[in-house]
Structure 1
Amino acid sequence: MTRIRRTAAAAVLTLVLPLPAVAAGTALAAPASEHSAAAASDPYGLHPELPRPTGPHAVGREILHLVDKHRQDPWVPSAGPRQLMVSMYYPARLGTGGPAPYMTTEAARLMLQLKLPGTTIPAEAVSGTHTWARSDARPEHGRFPLVVLSPGFTMPRTELTSLAEDLASRGYVVALVDHTYENSGTTFPDGQTLTCAICDTPSTGGPGAIAESRARDISFVIDELTSRRHPGWQYAHMIDPRRIGMAGHSLGGDAAVTTMAADKRVRAGVNLDGTMFAPVPATGLGGRPFMLVGHDLGGVVDDTWASGWANLDGWKRWLTVSGSNHASFTDVPVLAEKLGIPEPPGTTVSAQRAVQITRTYVGAFFDLHLRGIPEPVLDGPSAANPEVGFHP
């Protein structure tokens, strides 16, 4: 049984189980007083709060609208050139910028509509999730590695916000990409929110074709962020183009494979619980490091991971987090816990602990391979993380 058969459904179950009606670290991401003020604006405690980032840097965020004039949209050709929305997270100067919203209210409404038909949860309860990033904060001096993040199929990019914020707090520039027409809703600068065009009607070529399309999205984003003449981001000078990594959840994890196979600029990759419909090439990934992180399938081995593992030809790790589920590597459990949504049966890892484990291992992986910092946590099982098992 493949991972997608057992776990794509689990991701949906995290958001679609029957719900009750809802009424009406150490990082210096934002002064405590600002979060106190945010709490005061949420007197009923409806809004979830993401876990505090663990690194020493404050976190800035800026939203980019990028247009690939050389590529027609693959899912809605009549829309013209491929357009992408990207959230850029970066090490920032403390005390600058303003609170960064989690997502737009319309995008939250569409996500709830897709995942929880008929729910009474107000969209504002999700869109008002408290983050630690600061909009338009002034960047810190220096050059930093770039990590590109790709979310799961049907999910907006915001599902990986807690991971993006943590990486930025640790000294990374992070590009969190929405793949237009592949999720519940992407809001553009003109206020329009585009919905999913292929969620109900699978694309020709299936999930593998979607992963390959995402690879083209990611390579275009990297082009825009590393262009010397006309970069697509005002703080592009912060990025060290020699140190680029990628991580993704579910289909986004599969896209990490297809991106690395097509784009040698990506030096290291992580797949968070994604079936590899687009397989690791038989010739490998040119010796570049790759890490698989997934939940326990009850003793069943995902055959796409088994074949992919055999083809990986560089440094590699295969980690299994016991007591987790498909969505444990995202913000979904944090939101679900606050909004009264039960976890899938068998889940024993708390939402906060799931975020901590994901941040620990993904951060350590990129610290080792993009910054050359030894990370003993990647060497094998540890008493501090008893839930994490290492594949032989």
Structure 2
Amino acid sequence: MALAVGIAGTTLMAENRIDTQLPSAPELAAYGDLPVGVRQLDMVNPGQIDILAIDPAAPKPDPMPTYDRPLTVEMWYPAADGASGDTTLKAFLRDGTTEVTLQGTAVRDAAPAAPDNAYPLVLISHGYPGNRFLLSHLAENIASKGYVVASIDHTDSTYRTQAAFGSTLVNRSLDQLFVLEEMAKMAADGGNFAGLYDANNTGLIGYSMGGYGAIITAGGGVTEASVGYPWGGPHGTLGIHQAGSDTHENLPDARIKTAVAFGPWGMNTGFWDAAGLSGIRIPMFFIAGSQDDVSLYESGVRAIWENASNLPHALLTYVNGGHNSGAPMPAPKESFYFSEEKGFNISEHYTDPVWNTARMNNIAQHFVTAWMDQHLKGDEDKGTYLDLVENSNEGVWSVNDDGTEKDDHSHWKGFAKGTAKGLQYEVKSVE
């Protein structure tokens, strides 16, 4: 009997699950009551500047070369009751060659629900490189709570299409807004998704370069110096996002009400300054590790938060966490090998040296749920999960025998006794 249990346990552990809920998971990390469907969407954005066709060392082309830019989107959504079928996802690893199977709860191509009221829409934008499945744990989780989620494969930024960085710098925000427009059209065309979601009530989640794009989409403009970087957008093509330019002033879309940025990149390399960040027009929630060695922390993500516009922006910090804090799914088992070509163990793309990935994911699911419910659903009760003492270690557990809280109880709401450790939550003062 013990042998059988051991074999079964080994089989279970071998699955690449994206839906893990640890015993220590905070309250709002739990999956919602709605069944979830998932499907692939293929989109094409016509007439975009072809950054890869521009030679930075040659004279500036006139006119600029253009192409029809393909984008693949994975859509998670509340499904009709009784949905059943394939609940796996096929995704490529960071090495760009190994395809793996991920296991969740969403049913492939399930019929969508028919809600009385349309759900909010959330866009997800991965890092460089990444893919549309990197934050699949979060996409599936919030879909079960009444959101439609569109996660983007950014061309020239995926594991299999990684190309010149200038393409990512110029196209990231444009991709986000194009997918928003396509999703809006799809909801309005009277087809299967009519009435399922409201594109006029949209949130945006970005990780690393996705967070960079989210800042631009939210109204943050890049610096003049970054437009001229020789390794950036060739021949000033990034100028469309420069703070104060007409093109950037016209970029933000009022349909996007809030954004979450995990480890947003750019402050560490001079893409942001206080003037550009003052242009952010929506409340933003920043999530970072205090030991982020990619976007940096004090002079990186924290500096972005401190210099953001005069709105109620929040910052969640995983103390001693790195760049992967909260965003990437757990490392697939096939990623635990050293790649001679890449020069590192592929699993490092997903893991953190200090924090357990599933625990980081559960914490992110909890906080993103509270933030999005408050800002997109108007659920002010969820704001009580964001009214916290700044340092989680200083929270006091003090309850009566019947479970009611005493006056001196300041333990983080939604976290079981002793499980809120190693975190900081701060809200920028609004003057």
Which of residues 281, 290, 299 in structure 2 aligns to 1:296? 290
Unmatched runs of 5 consecutive residues or more in structure 2: 1-6, 21-29, 55-64, 220-251, 338-344, 390-410
Counting only pairs closer than 5 Å after superposition, residues 169-318 of structure 1 correspond to structure 2 as: 169-185=144-160, 195-198=161-164, 202-203=165-166, 210-227=168-185, 231=189, 234-261=192-219, 262-277=252-267, 278-279=271-272, 281-286=276-281, 288-297=282-291, 301-303=298-300, 305-318=302-315
Residue 4 (structure 1) aligns with: none
Q: Does 1:133 align with 2:133?
A: no
Return the structure number with greater helix share. 1
Which of residues 310, 318, 322 in structure 1 aligns to 2:319? 322
Q: 1:76-118 CA deviation, whole Å, 9 max, x = no partner? A: 58893011000011011243252143224xx34xx3357xxxx
Is the partner of 1:227 in helix, strand or coil?
A: helix
Larger RCO, structure (CA 8 Å, separation 6 or more): 1
From the superposition, tell whether residues 84 and 232 of structure 1 become closer, same or farther in structure 2 (CA, over 3 Å): farther
> Contact conserved, 2:188 with 2:194, CA < 8 A, in 1?
no
Residue 387 (structure 1) aligns with: 422
Number of equivalent positions? 321
Q: Does 1:56 align with 2:46?
A: no
> Contact conserved, 1:333 with 1:343, CA < 8 A, in 2?
no
From the superposition, tell whether residues 225 and 239 of structure 1 become closer, same or farther in structure 2 (CA, over 3 Å): same
> Contact conserved, 2:206 with 2:261, CA < 8 A, in 1?
yes
CA distance in structure 1 between the partners assigned to 2:79 and 2:150 by the alignment: 15
> Contact conserved, 1:294 with 1:326, CA < 8 A, in 2?
yes
CA distance in structure 2 between the partners assigned to 1:88 and 1:234 by the alignment: 13
> Contact conserved, 1:322 with 1:389, CA < 8 A, in 2?
yes
From the superposition, tell whether residues 232 and 359 of structure 1 become closer, same or farther in structure 2 (CA, over 3 Å): farther
> Contact conserved, 1:149 with 1:248, CA < 8 A, in 2?
yes
CA distance in structure 1 between the partners assigned to 2:134 and 2:39 by the alignment: 17
Q: Does 1:149 align with 2:184?
A: no
Q: Does 1:103 align with 2:78?
A: no
> Contact conserved, 2:288 with 2:301, CA < 8 A, in 1?
no
Q: Residue 150 of structure 1: CA displacement?
A: 0.3
Is the partner of 1:219 in helix, strand or coil?
A: helix
- Percent same amino acid at aligned positions? 25
CA distance in structure 1 between the partners assigned to 2:147 and 2:12 by the alignment: 35
Residue 6 (structure 1) aligns with: none
- Higher Rg: 2
From the superposition, tell whether residues 67 and 169 of structure 1 become closer, same or farther in structure 2 (CA, over 3 Å): same
Amino acid at match of 2:359: R
CA distance in structure 1 between the partners assigned to 2:335 and 2:45 by the alignment: 38
CA distance in structure 1 between the partners assigned to 2:298 and 2:190 by the alignment: 42
Counting only pairs closer than 5 Å after superposition, residues 45-84 of structure 1 correspond to structure 2 as: 46-52=14-20, 54-75=31-52, 80-84=67-71
Amino acid at match of 1:306: A
From the superposition, tell whether residues 318 and 308 of structure 1 become closer, same or farther in structure 2 (CA, over 3 Å): closer
> Contact conserved, 1:275 with 1:302, CA < 8 A, in 2?
no
Is the partner of 2:324 in helix, strand or coil?
A: helix
Is the partner of 2:110 in helix, strand or coil?
A: coil
Residue 378 (structure 1) aligns with: 386
Q: Residue 292 of structure 1: CA displacement?
A: 0.7
> Contact conserved, 1:276 with 1:305, CA < 8 A, in 2?
no
CA distance in structure 2 between the partners assigned to 1:317 and 1:336 by the alignment: 34
Residue 393 (structure 2) aligns with: none
CA distance in structure 1 between the partners assigned to 2:96 and 2:114 by the alignment: 42
Unmatched runs of 5 consecutive residues or more in structure 1: 1-38, 115-122, 186-194, 204-208
65-74 or 128-137, which deviates more: 65-74
Q: 1:285-334 CA deviation, whole Å, 9 max, x = no partner? A: 23x21111100128961246415532322121111012432223234434
Q: Does 1:160 align with 2:143?
A: no
Q: Residue 233 of structure 1: CA displacement?
A: 7.6
> Contact conserved, 2:297 with 2:303, CA < 8 A, in 1?
no
Amino acid at match of 1:57: L
> Contact conserved, 1:46 with 1:338, CA < 8 A, in 2?
no
From the superposition, tell whether residues 160 and 365 of structure 1 become closer, same or farther in structure 2 (CA, over 3 Å): same
CA distance in structure 2 between the partners assigned to 1:315 and 1:336 by the alignment: 40
Is the partner of 1:301 in helix, strand or coil?
A: helix
CA distance in structure 2 between the partners assigned to 1:177 and 1:155 by the alignment: 10
77-86 or 361-370, which deviates more: 77-86
CA distance in structure 2 between the partners assigned to 1:229 and 1:295 by the alignment: 37
TM-score, length basis structure 2: 0.66
Q: Residue 173 of structure 1: CA displacement?
A: 0.4
> Contact conserved, 2:123 with 2:205, CA < 8 A, in 1?
yes
Amino acid at match of 2:123: V
CA distance in structure 1 between the partners assigned to 2:189 and 2:308 by the alignment: 35
> Contact conserved, 1:295 with 1:325, CA < 8 A, in 2?
yes
CA distance in structure 1 between the partners assigned to 2:144 and 2:103 by the alignment: 16
Amino acid at match of 2:316: L
Q: Residue 258 of structure 1: CA displacement?
A: 0.8
> Contact conserved, 1:224 with 1:233, CA < 8 A, in 2?
no
TM-score, length basis structure 1: 0.72
